[in-house]
Amino acid sequence: MQKLTGKVAFITGGSRGMGAAIAKRLSQEGADVIFTHSGRNPQKADEVVSAARQNGNRVRALVAGNEDSDALLTALETTVDEFGRLDILVNNAGIYSNKPINEYTLEEYDQMMGVNVKAVFVAAQFAASHMKQGGRIITVGSNMADRVGFQGGSLYAMSKSALSGLTKAIARDLGPRNITANLIQPGPVDTDMNPADSDHAPALISQTTIGRYGTVAEIAGLVAYFAGEESQFITGATFTIDGGVNV
């Protein structure tokens, strides 16, 4: 049974990896879907659109990078204008870098915080002004917000830890309107950016208790749960899905 029929979902970074899996899963659950992508690989975005449309829903891809607040807001406005509403916001897009803290530039700091934090704030602020009762704001962070298991993750971990406080505050602000806000923190997940057969994969797998990478389908399944009615009494929460890395 499709649990999200009649809902409109907006996903940032939906052309590949976890974002693509989320777009397909929410479409399978009955939602109409708009997702953003950087525009660097339009074929990937077209493939996601084609796959999601097989469920008979409206699906559209828009070029809007998280580093450009104006483009992100335009994409959100297009969603409301063309689809008539916004029920589910999934803040998925993000960037990653790894090097010693003393080697980062302030420009790199601004870029990381702009994409991983500012864009989430911008999208959530828009959603707060346009969502009706029962809306869902779901943000994809990282288990590195709670535990940095290797060197070089200072800037990334900082950007992801900021999402916890933001999520709790959004939940407090929007709770009276029955709009929930929750944070999902994945660990190592098999994507083209972090493949399970890479040179560094064995080191990451050794940190898990389950002994493997996660799958994008597992992340998408958790997002779908938070997007549905069964999770309506959960808000301001952080759910870590990392195979036991942080236990």
* Annotated catalytic residue within 104, 156, 213, 225: 156
pLDDT level of residue 170 (50, 70, 90 thresholds): very high
pLDDT level of residue 82 (50, 70, 90 thresholds): very high
Mean pLDDT to the nearest integer, 69-90: 98
pLDDT at 86: 98
Domain for residue 1, yes or no?
no
Domain for residue 171, yes or no?
yes
Domain for residue 185, yes or no?
yes
Domain for residue 105, yes or no?
yes
DSSP string, the chain: --SSTT-EEEESS-SSHHHHHHHHHHHHTT-EEEEEE-SS-HHHHHHHHHHHHTTT--EEEEE--TT-HHHHHHHHHHHHHHHS---EEEE---------GGG--HHHHHHHHIIIIIHHHHHHHHHHHH--TT-EEEEE--GGGT---STT-HHHHHHHHHHHHHHHHHHHHHGGGT-EEEEEEE-SB-SSSS-TTSTTHHHHHHH-SS-S-B-HHHHHHHHHHHHSGGGTT--S-EEEESTTTT-
pLDDT at 193: 87
pLDDT at 59: 98
CATH classification at residue 157: 3.40.50.720
Domain for residue 247, yes or no?
no
The domain total for the chain is: 1
pLDDT at 1 over 80: no
Domain for residue 50, yes or no?
yes
Mean pLDDT to the nearest integer, 13-29: 98
Distance of CA 11 to the CA centre of its chain: 7
Domain for residue 3, yes or no?
no
Domain for residue 246, yes or no?
no
Share of the chain above pLDDT 90, in %: 98
- Among the listed ranges 13-22, 138-147, 162-171, 189-198, which one has the minimum average pLDDT value? 189-198
Is 104 designated active site? no
pLDDT at 69 over 90: yes
Rounded mean pLDDT of the chain?
A: 97
69 lies in which domain range?
8-241
